Chains A and B, each alone.
Chain A
């Protein structure tokens, strides 16, 4: 069965420090991976995706993610965190059954402190 795990419920980081939000996945076949962000009382916004190619994917708002096939991971990173990055982050994998169905992780709350 395909699944996504986000091992941390919450990540705390000081403003200006680098941040990492972890994601591991389990799929049959090639993984197609996504990161979304949810600000309070809003819908999810797309950040970036990995389909194929370069293992380092760059996305919106200065975020990037590193795909590691051997570790089945797709960690979200940013070199210098902002207070405005505080939000709920979701990792998702496309279901191998097709039709662009997504399987989401439980989410990680990022808190950036001034």
Chain B
């Protein structure tokens, strides 16, 4: 199993540009999430999905869109990049309610994004 994979590893954008961060998992997990990590703030939830076709907002959703057309993939779109979106982005997945609902999340290696 590859686990949770993310691409790209690094990205530099100019203000106003758009891009998509890719995330895929091969563990047949129901739940997938996107977090951003900023110094001194831990990880904050951006968007999450409890299954294909179902997404919802997390703590800091503004400026980001998601969709989940398959169980495996959960891309994160930045609509118009801003310097405040400079961060490290992590995708995570886990089993869902059918497995008890209290399952640990598996994290990808992260994407380091800089917006100039």
Contacts and interface: CB of A to CB of B under 8 A. Distances in A.
Contact of B42 (A45, A49, A104): A104
Interface stretch (A65-73, A74-82, A92-100): A92-100
Nearest to A34: B104
Interface size class of A (residues with CB under 8 A): 20 to 34
A45 B107 contact: yes
Most B Cβ at <10 Å: residue of A32, A100, A102, A106: A100
For the residues of A in contact with B, the DSSP-based class is: loop
Contacts of A42: 109-110
Is the interface on chain B under 10, 10 to 19, 20 to 34, or 35 or more residues? 20 to 34
Given A46-B104, A107-B42, A99 B48 contact: yes
B41 A106 contact: yes
Contacts of A14: none
Given A101-B45, A106-B41, A32 B58 contact: no
Contact of B105 (A4, A51, A100, A107): A100
A87 to B, nearest CB: 14
A27 B53 CA distance: 30
- Output the residue of A41, A43, A46, A49 with the most chain B CB within 10 A: A43
Nearest to A95: B45
A30 to B, nearest CB: 10
Contact of B50 (A4, A45, A99): A99
Interface in B55-106: 56, 58, 90, 92, 94, 96, 101-106
Contacts of B107: 36, 43-45
Nearest to B3: A43
Nearest to A42: B109
Nearest to A35: B104
The 9 closest A-B pairs by CB, nearest first: A43-B107, A104-B42, A46-B104, A44-B107, A104-B43, A106-B42, A43-B109, A51-B102, A100-B31
22 contacts: A4-B42, A34-B104, A43-B4, A43-B108, A43-B109, A43-B110, A46-B105, A46-B106, A94-B102, A98-B101, A99-B48, A100-B31, A100-B96, A101-B33, A101-B45, A101-B48, A102-B105, A104-B35, A104-B44, A105-B42, A106-B40, A106-B42
